[in-house]
Structure formats: structure tokens, C-alpha cells
Amino acid sequence: MNIYHELNKVIDYIESNLDSVIDYEKIARILGVNVYTAKKLFSLLCNNTIAEYIRKRRLTLSFYDLTVNNEKIIDVAIKYHYDNPTSFSRAFYKFYGVKPSKAKELKTGIKTFPRIVFKEEITDSSDLTYNIISLDEFTLYGVGVKTTKDTIKEDAPGFFDKCINKFNKQPDYGMITYEDRYNSDRFGYHCLYKEKLAGLSKYVIPKSKWIVFIIDSQEAEDIRRISQKFYKTMFLNLQYNIRPLPELEYYHDGVTEFLIPIED
């Protein structure tokens, strides 16, 4: 299955229903996974949550409706499923920097969010291999930092080095936790140790089945690049659903084992 082909189908569906109720179950069916997994994949590959993509596209179209079609603010608010004109006006002002009533006065610097279109090319994944393992519940000890999709590239390696300096030992695991996989791009990166050290909190990792693949590096950029490649080129073909648990990075012997929790 070509994930980009399927994502283009998802975008087609969303774009055709921006003035209607968008069914997340239908999006999941297009991708052949459950809703949780669909939202995870969309967020990872589109760099926006589904909810954020819908919100930005509706606001982009609302500007056209107000300035070209001369539609009333209340009608546009209802059209794009805002609870009332006040909530629409707040969202519009946050996006454009002007109230809807002043939209026609905005002549320069008009912000838009274009439709996403994926090139349906298949990236080679011949250098990626994986295993399916089951792990019983286990306990780790660590500390975390809050971050976002835009800052984790700097936050994670910086926090990793900080933990080495503070605890005089390299972390055994990294853990990525999500504040809200459905609607938020905020999450956390945690450095975890097998042994309990002073100043660390306890983290219980539930019993689960995991997809595991090995990355021949412990550099943050390599981990990010190859883990995204796995999601883009292989994951959808495996026909697994992701469990709502953190992802883990197990650092040992100069390599990183990347663990994705999956349903049985």
C-alpha cells in the first residue's frame, strides 16, 4: 500500500467536506487502520493534526467567502461549524490578525493555508527490518521535558546531554509521550534509566506487543529520520494499529532500538 496515495484520498475527503461534518471513522477506513492510528500517521506525515488541518483550511476558505462571495459572518461561522459568530471571530482574528468584519481591508500579508498534495512516489525501504516482540510490564526511572513537533529536534538532544551531565550516566531509554495525539502537537521527551537514581520519577511501562526496528546510531537526527521513514514506507503495509502508549527508544551498544506499541 502506498501511504501517500491513501493520504491523498484522505485529503480529497476532507476537502470535499469542509462545510460538513467530517467523519474520522471514514478517514480511518480509507487508511485501513483505527482512528487513533490514523490520527497519529496524519500528524506525523502532514506535520499537522487532522483537527488543525481542518481548522486552517476552513479559515482559509472563510476569508474567500467573506471578501469575494460577500457572505455574512454568521453564515460563514455556521458553514464551517463554529458554535457561534463570537468563537469564529476569535479564531479568525488569531489566524489573520483582523476581525472578520475587517477582512476586506486586509490587502497585504494575507495568510493562507493551502491544500496538501502528496507526490505518490514510493521511497526505498530495503534497509529497514523489524521484529514483533511482547514485553511484560516493566519499570523505569527518569525525568522529562515538554516540547513540540517544532522544537523537539533541539530539545531532545539538549535534554539528553543535560541528563548525562546531571546523573553521570547515559540514559538507557528515551520515551515520547503525547499530550493529545488527536488535537495537539505538544508532547514530552523523557530520559529513563533502568536503575533508580536520586531525583528521578517512576514510570511503569505496561505489558504490550511492540514493533521494534534497529537504528545504527544514537544521534537524534538519525533516529528522527529513520523512524519517520519507517512510518512512511512500511508501517501501513504491516496492518497494525498503534496502542495509546508512549514510543520508546532503547539505547545500547551504539545503536537505538525504536519501539512502537501495537495492538494484539
Q: According to the model, what pLDDT value does residue 182 have?
A: 53
- With a cut of 50, which residues of the chain have pLDDT below it? none
- Tell me which residue of 256, 258, 139 sits closest to 206, measured CA to CA: 139
For the chain, what are the domain ranges? 3-105, 131-262
Residues 83-102 pLDDT 10s: 999 999 999 999 999 999 99
Architecture of domain 131-262: Alpha-Beta Barrel (3.20)
Q: What CATH number was assigned to the domain covering residues 3-105? A: 1.10.10.60
Please state the length of the chain: 264
For residue 122 the three cell numbers come to 514510493
The pTM for the full model equals 0.81
Residues 116-161 pLDDT 10s: 998 876 555 556 789 999 999 999 999 999 998 788 889 999 999 9
